[in-house]
Structure 1
Amino acid sequence: MAALPETYRALVLNAIGEPLEVQTKPTPQATPGSAVVKILAAKILSYGGDIYNGKRKYPLPTPLVPGSGAVGRVAAVGSDATSLAAGDLVLVDIYLRGRDDPSIAALSGVHEGHTETSSRLMRGEWRDSTYAEYAKMPLENCYKLDEKRLLGPTTAGGLGYTVEDLLAMLVQPVAFGGMRCIGIEPGDKVIVSPATGSFGSAAVQVALAMGASVIAMGRNMDALKKLQTICAEDRVQLVQITNDQQQEMEALAKCGPADAFFDISPPAAAGSSHIRSGMLSLKHSGRVCLMGSGIGDVAIPAAALTYKNLTIKGKWMYERADILKMIQMAEGGLLKLGSQAGWVTAGRYQLEQWEEAFASAAKHAGPGERVLFEFR
């Protein structure tokens, strides 16, 4: 690839609650342990606007370049790189981990973590994220992709995806990490709730790819039916969240005994009945994964937990082994991506259109929709 330019354009958040602005900055240089990636497409989180306007109280150092997961091409690597090279197509993972303690974590451009120690990851070397023409990221956060297999034409043995199709692999790892942490296996029946947001609908898709069947729960039946159509699967059953626990449990019972319950509730679901309904509907020795950290405290049905021998596990994000396995599944054709999985791009935006882009992402947060920044 050509040498790095002297400057690059980036979207900058000077202070939480202030309007963002596009700035020209000195291009980051590769140092040991890092790669500089030319960003091709970056996903916009449905709640991204609420992070940067302060509605969601996510801790972030400012000023910074915000961001989310992205797909790009390596432009330069540090001197200690052993497998990545300039020109490689990579998945850019924003889940930062402490190199000397992997339990310390933060999300580049989104959240500096839950402890003073985790905040160090974003208050120095990794402050700036992917809403920019170039991004400097840790080597281990840049996953090399089989470009020929993923983007090549089907007539030549490829899977025929586009670059933006690959953005699906930045949502799916969250669900995949949660499913793997409770040992989902082929033949299991998993309750996914709520299933109509971007992460919940990805969880349905991931569970199906892992060989499980799914009971998808949500408030909006139209959105649930759309999800069922997108999945084109007779292994997806639908149950509406009504905030009537007994009614929900009766509907779940009609779907047959469930092996596991996967929850990834947004903050708006605080106080909802569906978590108790899901737990109480599990068979003996059922497993529960809770990933919706924004909903506050949840009442646990202790009696059922005991006599049903239930296991409850909390999970934030995923492990490195999870994303490697998920990429392997995608490259093997087992996990469908993007348009081939029924997803459409609801909006493509330039950095200068950030306000419209965040509004569009909030509007198109349901199953089958994605919104992104694209870089030409």
Structure 2
Amino acid sequence: MAQASTSAIPPIHRVLFLNSTRDPYDISVVEQPTPQAVPGSAVIQILGAAVLSYAGDIFSGRKPYPYPTPFVPGSSAIGRVAGVGSDATKLEVGQLVYFDCYIHGRDDPDSSILHGLFYGFDPSSNKLMENEWRNGTYAEYSKVPLENCFPLDEQRLLGSPAEGGLGYNLADLSYLSKLAVPIGGLRVVDVRAGEKVIIAPATGAFGSAAVVAALAMGAQVIAVGRNLDALEKVKSLGPEGRVRTVQITGDVTHDVGELTKSGPADVFFDISPEQAAKSTHFTSCIQALGRGGRVSLMGPFMELSLPIMAMMGKDITVKCKFMYTKEDIRFMIRLVEAGDLKLGQAGGVQAAGLFPLEQFEAAFDTAAKMGGPGMQTIIAP
């Protein structure tokens, strides 16, 4: 019988353990037995795990995300394979990988969770997080599904530019977790090189990542927001002339005029928070599209009133997207390894901070305060 392949995994490791939802936090760093690889899984050593800007609200209970307690929280991460199950065919111990936290049921792809973060939308999804995939990546080691580990070309990504590498560091690679979401939304409406893409709001963590992703896909970007200072930061994410900014005023006629100064747009990508459900920018951005325009909606959990007559008159297509596909992740990694999708300083992206497990409160606070354009916070066990 084939045996699982492992490196020298220690018997005990440190984790950030959430006991219950309580404000401010009922979380502490504890020692637990290190997970072992079984068929269908890999154990990865966590090198850096992303921190959402609202992580503090989620794990204190102020933002009511459903998850089982107690458990180890976490998110997508950069890791190194420490062990693989006996059914692994390509993944090897020692490989640098991107772990994607969006896990699907193998016998029901409609069942899904966000590992270490979100239960899912139905009882069958909940099973994934209640049992096998309960514990996330805010830990020294994490057991994850084989199919959620994406090998990275370490020499290309981390190697010296003098030797053909891109010169990134591990913190730079952690930005993949921000890019993955908008790439899913941009690809679902088939963004093509040379097209004009309106991105709103472009000033948050995922909106600004959408700007970086759309530029890498060859698009021109119209970045939309209300904060002029933040919009200027977004503009700096792209080369001269590739990013134009428009401040939303609430006057639909005026805003459409600003959006269409260089002609109608091809795509409108939106990743608004639920508080923006009644914002006028939905109408303005849709009316700024040309005939056959496409709309990608990724904003969570809100009901919208859209300008249906205008949409019908221009044959506008609307698609709603939650997260992304595995092929979207592979596409993203190919863009990065080719040098088209810029990370780190080259892409105008910087780390607000890298924090050990014990400094989780500082990590959550930093992510909340510095979650703007091109910023990321990382827990590095």
Give TM class, smaller chain: over 0.9
- Give the letter aligned to residue 65 of structure 2: Y
- The 10-residue stretch of structure 1 (348-357 or 316-325) with the greater mean CA deviation from structure 2: 348-357
Q: Deviations over 1:292-329 (max 9, x none)?
A: 014x1100211112111110000000001110011011
Q: Structure 1 residue 42 and structure 2 residue 55: aligned?
A: no
C-alpha contact (below 8 Å) 1:215/1:255 kept by paired residues: no
Distance in 2 between the 1:160 and 1:197 partners? 26
> 2:249 matched to which residue of 1?
242
> 1:360 matched to which residue of 2?
366
Superposition map of 1:255-294 within 5 A: 255-294=262-301
C-alpha contact (below 8 Å) 1:105/1:118 kept by paired residues: yes
Query: Which of 331, 342, 346 is residue 348 of structure 2 equivalent to?
Result: 342
- Give the letter aligned to residue 271 of structure 2: I
Q: Structure 1 residue 300 and structure 2 residue 300: aligned?
A: no
Distance in 2 between the 1:227 and 1:300 partners? 27
Distance in 1 between the 2:113 and 2:240 partners? 36
Distance in 1 between the 2:370 and 2:276 partners? 18
- The 10-residue stretch of structure 1 (125-134 or 247-256) with the greater mean CA deviation from structure 2: 247-256
> 2:129 matched to which residue of 1?
122
C-alpha contact (below 8 Å) 1:9/1:25 kept by paired residues: yes
- Give the letter aligned to residue 101 of structure 2: I
Give secondary structure in 2 for the equivalent of 1:354. Answer: helix
- Runs of 4+ residues deviating >4 angstroms: none
C-alpha displacement of 1:19: 2.2
C-alpha displacement of 1:55: 2.1
C-alpha displacement of 1:250: 2.2
C-alpha change, 1:2 and 1:319, in structure 2 (3 Å) is: closer
Superposition map of 1:147-226 within 5 A: 147-226=154-233
Q: Structure 1 residue 253 and structure 2 residue 276: aligned?
A: no
> 2:103 matched to which residue of 1?
96
Q: Structure 1 residue 79 and structure 2 residue 107: aligned?
A: no
Distance in 2 between the 1:69 and 1:281 partners? 35
C-alpha displacement of 1:92: 0.9
Q: How many residues align?
A: 374
C-alpha contact (below 8 Å) 2:211/2:237 kept by paired residues: no
C-alpha displacement of 1:128: 0.4
Give secondary structure in 2 for the equivalent of 1:231. Answer: coil
Where structure 1 has 5 or more consecutive residues not aligned to the other structure, the ranges are none
Distance in 2 between the 1:50 and 1:280 partners? 35
C-alpha displacement of 1:270: 3.1
Where structure 2 has 5 or more consecutive residues not aligned to the other structure, the ranges are 1-5
C-alpha displacement of 1:353: 1.0
> 2:3 matched to which residue of 1?
none
TM-score scaled by length of structure 2: 0.96
Give secondary structure in 2 for the equivalent of 1:42. Answer: strand
Distance in 2 between the 1:31 and 1:137 partners? 10
State the percentage of identical aligned residues. 51
Q: Deviations over 1:323-368 (max 9, x none)?
A: 0011011111111112221111111111111111101000111112
C-alpha contact (below 8 Å) 1:263/1:292 kept by paired residues: yes
Distance in 2 between the 1:194 and 1:22 partners? 36
- Give the letter aligned to residue 356 of structure 2: Q
Q: Deviations over 1:266-290 (max 9, x none)?
A: 2332321111211121111110000
- Give the letter aligned to residue 138 of structure 1: P
C-alpha displacement of 1:200: 0.4
